[in-house]
Every structure is written in C-alpha cells, then in structure tokens.
Amino acid sequence: MSLELLQAPPTTVVHTSGEMVSLAPGLDLILPCWNPAGPWVESLIRHYHEITTLMGDTPVQLILVNDGSVKNFTRQHIAWLEVAIPGIIIVSYTRNRGKGFAVREGVKRSQHAFQVYTDLDFPFGVNAVKEAYDGLLRGMDVVAGERGEAYLHKLPRKRRIITRISRLLNRRVLNLKVEDAQAGLKGFNVYGRNILLSTRIDGFLYDSEFLYQAGKRSHLKIGAVAVSCRPGIQFSSFRTKLLMKEVMNYCRIIFSSSAA
C-alpha cells in the first residue's frame, strides 16, 4: 500500500489508487521477533510503558510481528500482551521469512505519521526510539541508528570482521549516507515508508537495501542518531549458511547499484 505525501505537516496522504487518507499524529513502533527468549513479555510491557512515558502525549501504536516462531510465543503470551498493552497489533504467520519480511509486514499495518522499528529486546534502550522520533519531527525523512567504533570492540571476532566488511561495502560500493546500515533501529515518515515497502530482501540486509534506495532520492533527508548497546546484550553468531545467503543479497544490491 503505497502513499504519497501531499504536504508535511499536516500529514495528508493519498493512496496510489487516488483515495485520500489522513495519517494520525503519533508513532507506530514496529518490533519483529522470532523465538523470543526468556520472560520477554514482561520485558516488552516494561519497555512499552517506559516509551509511552518518554513520549508524553504522543500516541504510540505497538505493532508486534511474530516471524514464524516455533517456541515461546503462544496464545497465552498474546493474551497477556493484549491485556497489558492497549490496542496492540500482533501480526503472526507460521513460516519464518526473515527480519526484512517481518518489518515490512508490520509497516503495512502502520497508521501514524511516523514509524520506528527496533528489536524486541530494545538493544539500544528506549531513549534511542525517542531520539529517532525527534529527528523525524525536525524534518528528517529517514533516521538510522549508528553504532560507533566502540560497538565493534564488544563483538565476537567473527562478527567484528563481518561488520567491518559490511561498513566498507556500504561506504565504498553502495555509497550509503549512513555507513552503519545494520544497526537495528530505523525511523521514517511516509516517504521512507513507501521506499521500505518497495524493498525485496527478506534477510538482514534489507537495511542496506532500504538505505541504498532512499539514498537514490536526492530530495530525501537522511540522518543518523548515535546509539550504543545497553549493558547485558548478548550477541548472536552468524551461521555459515546464513552468511552465504546474505552475501548473495549483498550481490543483489550491488548489481542494482551498477545497473542504476
């Protein structure tokens, strides 16, 4: 569902079908998840209330996307969330499709002027969500979380090497305006929303595809917000099969870059 911004603000948009729609002021917070670990419901409820306190009178719509979880995501978990978080939207499907697919499914349900997505465990804390939202209020079309050099030193060696290579490709090949494309925090208005929904990569590199496509629009304002991992975050390792799949996805982006 593509939308075209007529003026900003107010947030009046028109569908590609010609139907006029007014987006409500506020924020859609999109959280993809797969096989969430531990007492994640309690953690999510706590983070949600921390964010609504930070946001004050700004409406916050929580959109949770269950990307084909096979454990620790049951009807009971859903019931707890629906009681604790008013109006929560839960998107669920049986087959695991990847983080990019999950984020797009969540964005399709968005209904406010701005969207921010991050990971279920809020690796950068709740203040980063507010900072991304504030960047959009200041006129940015896309805001991306950017982890500093200190983040690299916290990574396991294999992930550190992969991250350095990814940043090099982002800078030298894709010429991204934000070098650290894979930080799991992005915010955008309706312009960015349309671009995100046009992406095709389902895996982790949908972030790079999104920022690459956004960067091709010279009229868009793309900015970064500095983020750092909160204490206690556990870093996962990349399986070889997954790594090879993402290498192929990078080749797809590079090919589209060369063909553009």
Structure tokens at 30: 């999109």
User: What is d(CA 47, CA 88) in angstroms, rounded to the nearest whole number?
Assistant: 14
DSSP 182-224: TSSEEEE-HHHHHHHHH----STTHHHHHHHHHHT-TT--EEE
CB 218 within 8 A of CB 161: no
**Of 149-153, 177-181, 187-191, 237-241, which one has max mean pLDDT?**
187-191
CB 217 within 8 A of CB 114: no
Structure tokens at 94: 């049986």
pLDDT at position 225 over 70? yes
Apex 177 CA angle, 259 and 155, nearest 5 = 105
pLDDT at position 10 over 50? no
What does the pLDDT read at residue 212?
Answer: 92
At 4, is the secondary structure helix, strand, or coil? strand
What does the pLDDT read at residue 37?
Answer: 93
Average pLDDT, the chain: 86
pLDDT at position 4 over 70? no
Residue 149 to residues 47, 87, 153, Cα–Cα distance (Å): 26, 39, 7
Q: Comparing 11 with 158, which gets the higher pLDDT?
A: 158
Could you give the residue ranges of the DSSP H alpha helices within the chain? Answer: 40-55, 75-84, 99-108, 127-137, 149-154, 157-172, 190-198, 206-215, 240-259
Taking residue 247's Cβ as centre, other Cβ atoms within 10 Å add up to 12
User: What is d(CA 108, CA 140) in angstroms, rounded to the nearest whole number?
Assistant: 21
Residue 176 to residues 68, 96, 133, 159, Cα–Cα distance (Å): 31, 29, 21, 21
CB 237 within 8 A of CB 156: yes
pLDDT at position 257 over 70? no
Mean of the pLDDT values across residues 67-80? 97
Structure tokens at 134: 């504030």
pLDDT at position 6 over 50? no
Q: Comparing 226 with 1, which gets the higher pLDDT?
A: 226
pLDDT in tens, 13-61: 544 445 555 678 899 999 999 999 999 999 999 999 999 999 999 999 9
Band of residue 169 on the pLDDT scale cut at 50, 70, 90: confident
Identify the weakest region by mean pLDDT among 36-45, 58-67, 205-214. Answer: 205-214
The class that CATH gives domain 3-259 is: alpha beta
Q: In what side-by-side order are the strands of the sheet with 185-188?
A: 89-93, 60-67, 24-33, 112-118, 185-188, 142-147, 222-227
pLDDT at position 249 over 80? no
Mean of the pLDDT values across residues 223-239? 77
